[in-house]
Amino acid sequence: MDPPSQEAIELGLNTAEPATLVVDLNCAFASIEQQHDPALRGRPLAIAAYATDAATIVSSSREARDLGIKTGMRVFEAKAIFPSILVREPDPPLYRSVSDKLIEIMHRHSPDVLRMSIDEASINLAGTPGLKKIGPEGVGQSVKVAIRDEVGECLTASVGISTSIWMAKQASNLDKRDGLQRIDHTNLVSVFERLRLTDLSGIAEASARRLARAGILTPVQFLRATPPRLRLVGMHAEVARGWSMRLRGFEVGGFETARRKSYSHSHVMARATASQGELEELLMRLSDMVGRRLRAAGRRGRIVSVGVVYRPDEGNFSKQEKQPAPIATGDEIYQAALNLLAARDPRRTVGTLGVGVSGLTDGDAGQLDLFPQAGRPRSERLEAAVDAIRDRFGEDAVQRSRLLGVAQVVRDRIAFGNTGHPDDAPPEKT
CATH number 2.60.300.12 is the correct assignment for the domain at 260-411: no
Global confidence as pTM: 0.60
- Does the pLDDT of residue 25 top 90, yes or no? yes
Least confident of 267-276, 282-291, 316-325: 267-276
Average model confidence (pLDDT) for the chain?
A: 84
Q: What is residue 351's predicted lDDT score, i.e. its pLDDT?
A: 85
Q: What is residue 253's predicted lDDT score, i.e. its pLDDT?
A: 62
Higher pLDDT, 242 or 82: 82
200 Cβ contact list (under 8 Å, min separation 6): 170, 219, 222
CATH number 2.60.40 is the correct assignment for the domain at 1-15+184-259: no
Least confident of 40-54, 118-132, 214-228, 244-258: 244-258
- Does the pLDDT of residue 138 top 90, yes or no? yes
CA–CA distance, 20 with 6 (Å, rounded to integer) = 24
Neighbouring CB atoms inside 10 A of 168's CB total 29
Average pLDDT over residues 168-192: 97
CA–CA distance, 365 with 300 (Å, rounded to integer) = 9
Percent of the chain with pLDDT over 70: 81
Q: What is the DSSP string of 100-156?
A: HHHHHHHHTT-S-EEEEETTEEEEE-TT-HHHHHTHHHHHHHHHHHHHHHHT-TT--
Average pLDDT over residues 186-215: 93
DSSP-H helix ranges across 255-407: 276-296, 330-341, 376-393
Radius of gyration of the chain (CA): 24
- Does the pLDDT of residue 110 top 90, yes or no? yes
CA–CA distance, 166 with 14 (Å, rounded to integer) = 13
Neighbouring CB atoms inside 10 A of 385's CB total 11
3-class DSSP assignment, residue 173? helix
- Does the pLDDT of residue 261 top 80, yes or no? no
352 Cβ contact list (under 8 Å, min separation 6): 266, 267, 268, 269, 307, 308, 309
Q: What is residue 426's predicted lDDT score, i.e. its pLDDT?
A: 29
Cβ contact 358:261 at 8 Å: yes
Number of helical H runs and strand E runs in the chain: 17, 12
Residue 47 phi/psi, 5-degree rounding, is -100, 120
Higher pLDDT, 300 or 232: 300
Q: What is residue 415's predicted lDDT score, i.e. its pLDDT?
A: 31
Q: For residue 56, what is the DSSP state?
A: B
Higher pLDDT, 120 or 256: 120
Beta-sheet strand order (sheet of 299-311):
262-273, 349-362, 299-311, 316-327
CA–CA distance, 66 with 45 (Å, rounded to integer) = 11
Same fold, 1-15+184-259 and 18-183: no
**At 265, is the pLDDT very low, low, confident or very high (cuts 50, 70, 90)?**
confident
| Nearest alpha-carbon partner for 323 in 293, 359, 286 | 359
Q: What is residue 363's predicted lDDT score, i.e. its pLDDT?
A: 61
Average pLDDT over residues 1-13: 90
pLDDT in tens, 73-106: 999 999 999 999 999 999 989 999 999 999 999 9
- Does the pLDDT of residue 308 top 90, yes or no? yes
- Any idea which architecture 18-183 has in CATH? 2-Layer Sandwich (3.30)
Q: What is residue 228's predicted lDDT score, i.e. its pLDDT?
A: 83
- Does the pLDDT of residue 372 top 50, yes or no? no
CA 170 from chain center: how many Å?
Answer: 15
pLDDT in tens, 389-426: 655 544 555 566 555 554 444 443 333 223 233 233 32
Strands 157-162 and 262-273: unpaired
Average pLDDT over residues 346-360: 91
Q: What is residue 259's predicted lDDT score, i.e. its pLDDT?
A: 47
pLDDT in tens, 48-67: 977 788 888 999 999 999 99
**At 256, is the pLDDT very low, low, confident or very high (cuts 50, 70, 90)?**
very low
Average pLDDT over residues 357-369: 64
> Where do the domains of the chain lie?
1-15+184-259, 18-183, 260-411
